[in-house]
Amino acid sequence: MTKATPKSIQPLSWPTTAAFVDDSAAFLSNLSLQLDPELAFRLFNSPTEALRFLNGRAAQDQPASPIFSPYLDRTEENDAHQVIAMRVDAIRSLVHRPARFESVSVVVVDYDMPELNGIEFCRRLDNPALKKIVLTGKADEHVAVKSFNEGVIDRFIRKHEADAIETLNQTIRDMQAAFFDKTCGAVLDALAVSEYAFLKDGSLAKHVQGIFESLGIVEHYLSWQPHGLLMFDAQGTAYLLILHTDASLRGVREIAVEQGAPASFLAELDSHRGIPYFWRTEGYYPAQCVEWQPHMHPASVFVGERRYTYAIVKKPAGLALDNVLPYDAYLQHLDREIQAAWDSH
């Protein structure tokens, strides 16, 4: 499946759920067999039931959060930095919410339904962040085009096109990514002049996307102390991407010198072959450290808008990640739930 080249790194992203609404249970059952196997979804053959469910979730599914509110009363630079740092810590803590995958980001609705048509269904949705895709036949295509132009729906897909399912799968992925864009845009702007400016480096974003793909990463969260990204694959294996600019690496070195680090540690740091992860001291060289070698991790260098030195730490210590719900476990739960629902009909 084609992925767009990223222009920035989203500060947070996790898999969300898609809802499918059609009055034909047979159509939904057949469609479910053709969807991306990595997609979490819920099926509704009653528009009224679907509206009740989705509007009941509207408040909790909106990605906006007080974490991302602009800091309006900046009295001094250090105070502003502390507030931003708290937000970043709060972003990372979102991984501890087991219900994060339950957020419905996209609804796919048939146009021609007896209770109410797909356009009217979309008008009645309470969550403005929800992305809406309408499946149309030829007879109602002009209505879908008009609704798209008016901003009532985000996309429409012609049911009878040969590549309709492929288009649908790709469009859902695009819409799920767009679901986070408004929130992430606010965070990116807030952090643009901080040590997190790397998020807007397009070259680095493309490189990080390659890291995601090579490790099978499905969710990630901006991390602080050390700066970078906390990442997870579908099985829940955690990886910490520690990312340094030359300036931040100098800061690590200066503190290490103050703490009496040996010349061998400084030489390793200066070579850019290794980056330390001292998780008990927020990434900095601890006082009276006897053995620093176990805390060093192989590093790579990437040059984008500036030079970055980074390391990937598998199963990082100190972050209390043992009870994080993996995406695969959520998918299995949904499969059992859907199967039980169909068996009861």
Q: Model confidence over 314-334: pLDDT tens digits?
A: 999 999 899 999 999 999 999
Query: Which span out of 84-88, 179-183, 260-264 was modeled with the highest average pLDDT?
Result: 260-264
Helix (H, G, I), strand (E, B) or coil at 282: coil
pLDDT band at 345 (very low <50, low <70, confident <90, very high): low
pLDDT at 66: 45
Q: Pairing state of beta strands 131-136 and 155-158?
A: parallel
Taking 60 as the threshold, does the pLDDT of residue 74 lie above it? no
Q: Which residue has the tokens 């890291």?
A: 211
Under CATH, to which class is 15-193+325-344 assigned?
alpha beta
Taking 70 as the threshold, does the pLDDT of residue 94 lie above it? yes
Spatial separation of the C-alpha atoms in residues 320 and 13, rounded to whole Å:
20
pLDDT at 5: 76
Decide which of 307 and 336 is more confident.
Answer: 307
Give the mean model confidence (pLDDT) for residues 188-216.
90
pLDDT at 87: 64
Backbone angles phi, psi at 44, to 5 degrees: -135, 125
**Closest C-alpha to 229, from 94, 83, 68, 78:** 94
Return the percentage of the chain with pLDDT > 70, whole number: 89
Return the percentage of the chain with pLDDT > 90, whole number: 61
Give the mean model confidence (pLDDT) for residues 61-66.
53
Decide which of 195 and 87 is more confident.
Answer: 195
Spatial separation of the C-alpha atoms in residues 3 and 70, rounded to whole Å:
31
Backbone angles phi, psi at 307, to 5 degrees: -90, 135
Residues 121, 47 contacting (CB under 8 angstroms): yes
pLDDT at 86: 45
pLDDT band at 64 (very low <50, low <70, confident <90, very high): very low
User: What is the Cα Rg of the chain in Å?
Assistant: 23
Taking 60 as the threshold, does the pLDDT of residue 140 lie above it? yes
Task: Domain ranges for the chain, please list them.
Answer: 15-193+325-344, 239-314
Taking 60 as the threshold, does the pLDDT of residue 21 lie above it? yes
